[in-house]
Amino acid sequence: MENMKKFSVVIAGGGSTYTPGIVMMLLDNLDRFPLRKLKLYDNDEQRQAVLGEALDIVLKEKAPDIEYTFTTNPEEAFTDVDFCFAHIRTGKYEMREKDEKIPLKYGVVGQETCGPGGIAYGMRSIGDMIEMIDLMEKYSPDCWMLNYSNPAAIVAEACRVLRPNSKVLNICDMPVGTLRRMSHIIGKEPKDLEVRYFGLNHFGWWTSVKDKEGNEYLPQIRDYVAENGYLTQKEVDTQHMDASWQETHKKAKDLLAVDPRFLPNTYLKYYLYPDYVVEHSNPSYSRANEVIDGREKTVFSTAKAIVEKGTAEGSEFEMGAHATFVVDLARAIAFNTHERMLLIVENNGAIANFDDDAMVEVPCIVGTDGPEPLSQGKIPEFQRALMYQQVTVEKLVVQAYIEGSYQKLWQALTLSKTVSSAKVAKDLLDDLIEANKGYWPELK
């Protein structure tokens, strides 16, 4: 390890509840991915300071040789960095709550990344993402951004159109989490498994799950999911999983029923069973409230306890359970490991019968030059039609943002499978414009 290169990393969105978990995971992986510098960057000074001070104590105790800072100054944040790990949330949980609750007033799915909520969040995020890419390129032109900010599909499409040559990799932790569940079902470790998968972000299907010897486990996993969804007892017992997530993993059995050949991404429930989702949503207490009352309180109270005591002993931050995928990705770029991972990339033939310029989620081999998508062949027309509808929504959102076009955003909402009519789409849009004043570009 002494001869291994040491890296400088900036975490953009330093005030995020996910930041301590990512930092703990980085400290746990120093043998694979050594660090010389670690910086946190956020535009909310107060929020970041709470976590920043606590993590300062953690680093002094666990890895005093790593140079550590937290800052709101872009030049300080982005100078001399090799990797930017980005998990930003424009508008924070206050706006997420609106994304979830405004659509429910119209009987439409209210969700962070799917349907109108995802569109609203996407419109808020594009500007900040592009600004961050530009800052990174200005101060560290060789830096790679590993972006796992939601809504990943819209953000990835915006990067494709506005910054096509930038070193930005878009990745999502959802397939990583689902693969972990699959590995529990068959008694394996995720690293023992290789998958084939096609789709868009939060909108796809596994077509194969094999071990390294080439044994196919898809039928066995499918039989389990047909009965239980992806929910495993191990998770219920050990992870204190929020009720809303348990329900999501259970619902996968109904998604599987629509096409039993492939294993579905759990997010498809918002598109295939929107009526069910709305029926089971509480318009006055959404997922944002669950997070504010749960993870937010836990993480920030842990941070305050560490700062008060002046030590992290007895008040440890929890490690991000499947956050190691970020290190795997960074290592692939840094050490040319040819890691096989699901990434959101321009299709260019990976799915043979789908648009070349669509941002799709497929397995890629990742090396020093970035990702090389693996061919997934032709896909069935049912999935292709669903994906075409959804990718067009995402493209229209990005065009609406760039052109400041009310018309295109109305079309995007109308086309979304979660919205029942153009009238509902228009009423919703007018409401969302009002709620997002100061965040969205002006629409004409």
- Report the distance separating Cα 153 and Cα 151, nearest Å: 6
Is residue 173 annotated as a catalytic residue, yes or no? yes
Report DSSP state, residue 295: I
Task: Give CA–CA dist 322/177, Å, rounded.
Answer: 7
Which position among 42, 99, 128, 173 bears the catalytic label?
A: 173
Q: What residues contact residue 74 under an 8 Å CB cut-off, 6+ apart?
A: 41, 135, 139
* Binding site, annotated residues: 96, 150, 172, 202, 287
Binding residues for substrate, by number, are 96, 150, 287
CA distance 202 to 309: 41
Contact between 170 and 344 (Cβ < 8 Å): yes
Q: Which residue has the tokens 């032709």?
A: 378
Are 115 and 397 in contact by the 8 Å Cβ rule? The answer is no
Cβ within 8 Å of residue 7, ≥6 positions away: 33, 34, 35, 36, 37, 82, 83, 330, 334
**End-to-end Cα separation, the chain, in angstroms:** 57
- Tokens coding 6: 């040491």
Q: Does 267 qualify as catalytic in the annotation?
A: yes
Looking at this protein, which amino acid is placed at residue 17? T
Residue type, 154: I
Strand stretches in 165-314, DSSP E: 168-170, 193-200, 203-211, 263-264
**Cα separation, 193 vs 331, whole angstroms:** 19
The DSSP H or E segment spanning 144 is strand 144-147
Strands (E), 287-407: 339-346, 359-367, 370-373
Q: Which among 267, 270, 271, 401 is annotated as catalytic? A: 267
Active site members: 173, 267
